[in-house]
Structure 1
Amino acid sequence: MSRLLVSLCLPVTIAAPALAQQKDGLDLSGTVRLRHESIENQPRAGFDRDDALINLRTTVAATYRDGPWTLGAELWDSRVWGADPGSPVSTNEVNTFELVQAFVGYRAKLGRTQLTLQGGRFTLNIGSRRLVAADDYRNTTNGYTGLRADVAAPDGLSATLVYVLPQQRRPDDAAALRSGRVQWDREGFDQVLLGGTIAKTKAIGPLTLEGSFYHFGERDTQGRPGRDRSLNTYGGRIIRDPAPGRLDVEVEAFHQSGRISSAIAPNATRLPVSASFVHAELGYTVKDAWKTRVSIDFDRASGDGTGGRYSRFDTLFGMRRADLAPAGLYNAIGRANLVSLGPRIETAPSKRIDITATYHAMWLASRTDSFSTTGVRDTSGHSGSFAGHQIDGRVRWWAIPDRVRLEVTGVVLAKGRFLQDAPNAPGGRGTRYLSLNATAAF
């Protein structure tokens, strides 16, 4: 398989610098990422115990600027090979030939305040990206159709406001995904996301403060019943950015309320929602040439219990890789029914190499709910609450600076009592995940 990876990467590596184009107000760019990933002792329920996939993601973007106006478009093509009926292939991996972005933007100054408006199809990364993000590690991304406004006022005050229809990736049935069939993604008023984030730098000494509110509404569509979510998520963040020779801190908390159906059946009972999420991080950056940063990270996302209300936190369209673990074949740890604590180290031995390593001890917030995104559950609660120990490492190297980057990601999960004893827990005492990535930019 390593020979196959090299043979597929080499033409991309050679061709990438020659494809760069820039003309007047027009910028053209793109990426090609090839990934081989494998897993032993899959921790998620219902899939092959051992598996391997080849992912290919190609993006081409065009941006035209003329004074205050911007026109932009971006095409994504995401495919996989090597999947069989037991492989966890979904729209997280496959979305072929999709115009994820096609927008018009306008910039204006109102006194000392900068206003930017955007309409059409676009990607979003807002605040910490834990609620609204364009996922990068995953083979596909999140796209949105609607309106966005960004305001940058004097004295470090800024805001991002959105009213968007999340793009629902199509096709989404197993046969079409494995065949790579092309179908335009769907957006409609059956899924609506609105809200925004306001931030103020140096609000309290060196601390930046953020406040966020997002409403997500969802209802059934023809042939695709859902949980009819109506969720209000609100909270805030306190940040002191990392800098050499000093402590940094980040604390973010959200509460979630609203209503959700207890099942996808049309006459299912509607339940009130009361869920929560907290992320806390304390770090220190060493004054060294490697820019080494060490931190202790804590995450808690509530899980569902009993008592006539729904308590499992919904991360909406948030990323997971930066805080928790890779997606792809692993995809076991997300912001739901999780308590996680452990150290992180990040370092860059040179401008071309960066290394990240984390350790997380993990528990269930609720013993009777499924653990995080594994689908493993013990409704009796008799399997305990300790899920296991996770070690996650990543090394990235710019083989050709700003053009070709190679990446190795590995995860080892030593299963705790819950992931071994729960009734539907897959076999094996530990999980090993490895991905080899080559990305060319042009």
Structure 2
Amino acid sequence: MKLFALVLPGLLLSVSAPAIAAQSDDAAASPFTLSGSARIRYEFINPLFRAGSSGSDQMLSTRVRIKGEYDAGRFVLGGEFLDARAWLTDSGSVIANGSVNAAELLQAYVRVPFEGGEFQAGRFVMNVGSGRLATEQGFRNTPNNFEGVRGLFTPAENWSVEAFFTAPVRIAPGDRNALENNTAQLDEAEWGTHFWGVHATRTGFAGDLKAEAYLFGLNEENGADLLTPGLRISSPRAAGRYDFEVELMGQFGEQPQGAATLDVRAWSAFASLGYSFDAPWRPRLSGQLVYASGDDNPADADWNRFNPLFGARRGDFGTTGLSFTHFRENLIAFGPRLDMREGPAAISLQVQESYLASDTDRWRVANLRDATGQSGDRIGTLAEARVSYWLRPDRLQLETGASVLFRGDFARNAPGAAADDNPVYGYVMLTAPF
């Protein structure tokens, strides 16, 4: 009965989406717009790979997002409802806080456009630059959102600037019992934490290059005080052409650790080089490298572990959810990737060889660490494939994927490592936008 009640709203939304679209077409001049999506996903992993774990796990998750905006002329009022739930879990399941957020107000804002930009205040989601440090998260069941103010400006030709000052909204519930029961609890902004930043983009260079520079700040009450400057240079993808992307991120400040306060000296980098073939399916073959520093010496006064703030994982590391193996912290990952797209279908294949940047620091996702470094540094080889297909163009999309982590010496030998074989993950997902 629970499952029927869960699936029915999504099916009704997918069936009624064309009717809603037709109504909006008839009322094209209306100042009110309505959009959203319904999604259902089943995923499993066998065996588990986290410290002290064994056996398998599964989850059925649903997410409904409904967004409305009213254009009053000089300003726009917006709001978005979110209902995210998880099912088929038990006492041994891995239920992250990002899996459940029932009956919640995801966004509530006023946006004021003006010549050369716009201003926004309230609760909102935001995607800044590459999204590696600030994004709403797409595959995860619950998006990141913030409360505060942000502005978008175009001060000159080929220039755009985004600035924001926010507090992150902490997703509720957080306790195990409430997560298992999909309990609805109000999210609250944590105003003891400030997340702010300035991001500038410059286009118009030879070869259609784009350059971005930014500075992000994270100030936590009784926690970290971080400054994260960064630079990104990229070229567009086009048939018969090479493309590249390079992003460098430094991190400085202070990090409390026990009774001490350590000086932060950390950094991260991303680099990719690809070629798009002028052929059916528009195949793009690329290679990429991800680096994020780890803490080299836990006994010194420096903190070298990179903090990815509120960034995305899936774009660089592939499928997340229960398969969540890679995090932009203490990591070196590199390998080839193939992306293809033809009509309503898209295919992505990726292989990554993965190491700890510091063999004495932790593998965060698995909660494993060997402070002696004697377990080695190789996490393993992560191989992933995923396919998406629009069953009804722009109305109903099917996506499925699978990955396997061929565990390396650290993943097998670190103290507390799971004794089982290589973890295999798979998922199937239906999404109905409207």
TM range (shorter): over 0.9
Aligned residue in 1 for 2:311:
318
Structure 1 residues 44-69: Cα deviation after superposition (integer angstroms, max 9, x where no partner): 22445310110011111101123342
TM superposition shift of 1:204? 5.4
SS of residue paired to 2:17: helix
Q: 1:4 to 1:331 in 2, by over 3 A?
A: farther
1:395 aligns with 2:387: yes
The answer (yes or no) to whether the contact 1:345–1:358 under 8 Å persists in 2 is: yes
Secondary structure of the structure 1 residue equivalent to 2:34: strand
User: 2 CA distance for matches of 1:162 and 1:25?
Assistant: 27
Task: Decide whether aligned partners of structure 1 residues 48 and 178 sit closer, same or farther in structure 2, where only a CA change above 3 A counts.
Answer: farther
Q: Do the aligned residues in 2 keep the contact of 1:62 with 1:73 (CA within 8 Å)?
A: yes
Q: Please state whether the residue corresponding to 1:202 is helix, strand or coil.
A: coil
Q: After TM superposition, list the pairs within 5 Å mapping 1:348-359 onto structure 2.
A: 348-349=341-342, 351-359=343-351
Match of 2:35 among 29, 34, 45: 29
2:251 to 256, 259, 267: 256
Structure 2 match to 1:202 = 204
Secondary structure at the aligned position of 1:215 is classed as strand
Counterpart code for 2:406 = A
Tell me how far apart the structure 1 counterparts of residues 405 and 384 of structure 2 sit (CA, whole Å): 9
- Picking from 273, 287, 304, the partner of 1:296 is 287
Residue 71 of structure 1 is matched in structure 2 by 77
Q: Name the structure 1 match of 2:264.
A: 273
SS in 1 for 2:97: coil
Distance 2:398 2:153 in 1: 37
Which of 232, 235, 241 is 1:237 aligned to?
232
1:373 is aligned to 2:365:
yes
**SS of the counterpart of 1:154?**
coil
1:208-261 Cα offsets, whole Å, 9 max, x none, are: 1110100001125xxxxxxx1111101100111111111101000101011111
Is the 1:48–1:86 contact (alpha carbons within 8 Å) kept by the matching residues of 2? no
TM-score w.r.t. the length of structure 2 is: 0.94
In the TM superposition, what is the alpha-carbon distance from 1:283 to its structure 2 partner? 0.6
Deviation at 1:14, TM superposition (A): 2.6
The one-letter amino acid paired with 2:336 is P
1:4, distance to aligned residue in structure 2 (A): 8.5
Identity of aligned residues (%): 33
Q: Which letter does structure 1 place at the counterpart of 2:418?
A: P
Corresponding residue of 2:111 = 105
In 1: Cα distance, 2:277 partner to 2:163 partner? 36
Task: Tell me which amino acid in the other structure corresponds to 1:147.
Answer: V
Long gaps (5+) in structure 1? 221-227
The equivalent of 1:120 in structure 2 is: 122
- Other structure's SS at 1:92 match: helix
Bigger shift: residues 376-385 or 136-145? 376-385
Does structure 1 retain, via aligned residues, the 8 Å contact 2:14–2:38? no
Q: Is the 8 A contact 2:54 2:420 kept in 1?
A: no
The 3 A distance-change label for structure 1 pair 384 and 283 is same
| 8 Å Cα contact 2:39-2:431 kept in structure 1 | yes
Taking the aligned partners of 2:338 and 2:110, their CA distance within structure 1 comes to 40
Cα 1:153–1:243 change in 2 (3 A) is: farther
Matched position secondary structure for 2:172: coil
Between the two proteins, the alignment pairs up a number of residues equal to 424
1:93 aligns to 2:94 (yes or no): no
| 188 and 52 in structure 1: CA distance in 2 versus 1, 3 angstrom threshold | closer
Secondary structure class of the residue paired with 1:430:
coil
- Alpha-carbon contact 2:7-2:40 (below 8 Å) kept: no
Deviation at 1:273, TM superposition (A): 0.8
Q: Which residue of 1 aligns with 2:150?
A: 148
- 2:169 equivalent among 167, 170, 173: 167
